[in-house]
Amino acid sequence: MPVPMIDLGAQYASIRGEIDAAVAEVFATQGFVGGPKVAGLEAEIARFTGAEHALAVASGTDALLLFLRAIGVNPGDEVITTTFSFFATAGTIANAGAIPVFVDIDPATYTMDVDQIASRITGRTRAIVPVHLYGQCADMDPILRIAAKHSLHVIEDAAQALGARYHGRNACTLGDSAAVSFYPTKNLGGAGDGGMVLTRHADIAERVGLLRAHGSDTTYYHRIVGTNSRLDALQAAVLLAKLPHLERWNAARRERAAYYSQRFAEVPEVVVPIEADGNYHVYHQYVIRVPRRDKAREALKERGIGSAVFYPVPLHAQECFRSLGYAESDCPHAAQACREVLALPMYPELTETQQDEVVEAITAHVIGART
Ligand SMILES: *Cc1c(COP(=O)(O)O)cnc(C)c1O
């Protein structure tokens, strides 16, 4: 039985009537940019997370970039982040005109090693961008303490973690601001690109609001130079229809993660993900470490089972950041994770039979690798 990495079709089939009706509503009005669906989505995501201000933008990447532009990062300024993330986390720092400063990860959770932050702070540091990787919040309390001490902004990269919680608080309300992505494969995925900036600060919200609309709040009058980063009404309609299901979908991901981990308990070579104390992990990805990772991928592929490597290269070792002067051997925990991690099929509609298939394939691979 083939088991895909993700099955968006299964999700669509389960709520097809709601999605189709929402899309039809937008077509009936022919209002494709802005309007009640976008405003409705902003209000509902603000309510879901508890964030004070919510601004829909064109992508998760823009959510990160517009926040950095809103705080006014200057050339030569530095922004501290993790070396183990999707490229957008660091690319937006560079595109905002700042220098990304990378720290290694905690090898148990894959989120940024908070103990390395203090030593990387200089007179040019402006912000810290922790990433809630795979659906689990970074260890935010120590990050917030360091940031408060040095007056730094904290922007959560919550692209993979909408619905996650940390010591009873919701992701997206922990720092000064948060970036969410609605890319189709994210826990709340649209029918295309989309994103949102969430923030507790009215002045930042106002600035992001200007930046996403060419710096204008009165048509043809431009207070600052911005860009076009709007969310389509069609995306907002689809996301609004899906949002009421998100909590249930995240719970289903957690159940599937627990089942994988329970079954892998019999295979000591497989390192399963951990949920750190006080966390509510929403398993955007279920990521294991496994011996001979690339061979494992091939074995899965032969059986028609999907898998993925998030991520094969740490950001500090990317070709485009060569001029920053990092050595390959910097951030060794991230480098090791890049060699060992393997993301297995994970989505709310995944069946137990499918999971058994995945577990059997990994187990057979591991036993084969013993000899
Ligand atoms: C998906 C993702 C982004 C970027 O979001 P887009 O909507 O694809 O632009 C940023 N950071 C992380 C960690 C992501 O997973």
The neighbour count for residue 297, using CB atoms within 10 Å, is: 18
Average pLDDT over residues 276-291: 98
Instruction: Supply the pLDDT for residue 52.
Output: 98
Contacts with 50 (C-beta within 8 Å, 6 or more apart), sequence order: 170, 172, 173
Average pLDDT over residues 315-333: 95
Average pLDDT over residues 71-95: 96
The answer, yes or no, to whether residue 371 has pLDDT greater than 80, is no
The answer, yes or no, to whether residue 113 has pLDDT greater than 90, is yes
Question: Which of 65, 89, 196 is the pocket-test mutation for ligand 1 (most atoms within 8 Å of CB)?
Answer: 89
Q: How far is the CA of 90 from the centre of ligand 1 (A)?
A: 11
CA distance 237 to 84: 33
Question: Which of 68, 84, 86 is the pocket-test mutation for ligand 1 (most atoms within 8 Å of CB)?
Answer: 86
Percent of the chain with pLDDT over 70: 100
CA distance 129 to 175: 9
Average pLDDT over residues 348-368: 97
Average pLDDT over residues 128-157: 98
Q: How far is the CA of 60 from the centre of ligand 1 (A)?
A: 5
Q: How far is the CA of 181 from the centre of ligand 1 (A)?
A: 6
Question: Which of 6, 111, 157 is the pocket-test mutation for ligand 1 (most atoms within 8 Å of CB)?
Answer: 157
How many angstroms separate the Cα of 277 from the Cα of each of 22, 233, 280? 39, 39, 9
Question: Which of 156, 183, 197 is the pocket-test mutation for ligand 1 (most atoms within 8 Å of CB)?
Answer: 183
How do 99-103 and 78-82 pair as beta strands? parallel
The neighbour count for residue 107, using CB atoms within 10 Å, is: 16
Instruction: Give the dihedral sign, CA 293/183/239/136.
Output: positive
Q: How confident is the model at residue 154 (pLDDT cuts 50, 70, 90)?
A: very high
Residues 53-77: pLDDT tens digits?
Answer: 999 999 999 999 999 999 999 889 9
Say if ligand 1 is within 6 A of residue 81 CB: no
Q: How confident is the model at residue 127 (pLDDT cuts 50, 70, 90)?
A: very high
Say if ligand 1 is within 6 A of residue 59 CB: yes
Instruction: Supply the pLDDT for residue 341.
Output: 98
The answer, yes or no, to whether residue 1 has pLDDT greater than 90, is no
Residues 187-246: pLDDT tens digits?
Answer: 999 999 999 999 999 999 999 999 999 999 999 999 999 999 999 999 999 999 999 999
How many angstroms separate the Cα of 220 from the Cα of each of 216, 223, 230, 270? 7, 10, 17, 59
**Both structure tokens of 271:** 């390192």
Q: How far is the CA of 63 from the centre of ligand 1 (A)?
A: 9
Q: What is the mean pLDDT of the chain?
A: 97
Average pLDDT over residues 88-111: 98
Instruction: Supply the pLDDT for residue 74.
Output: 87
Q: How confident is the model at residue 50 (pLDDT cuts 50, 70, 90)?
A: very high
CA distance 153 to 125: 10
Say if ligand 1 is within 6 A of residue 314 CB: no
Instruction: Supply the pLDDT for residue 328.
Output: 80
Instruction: Supply the pLDDT for residue 269.
Output: 96
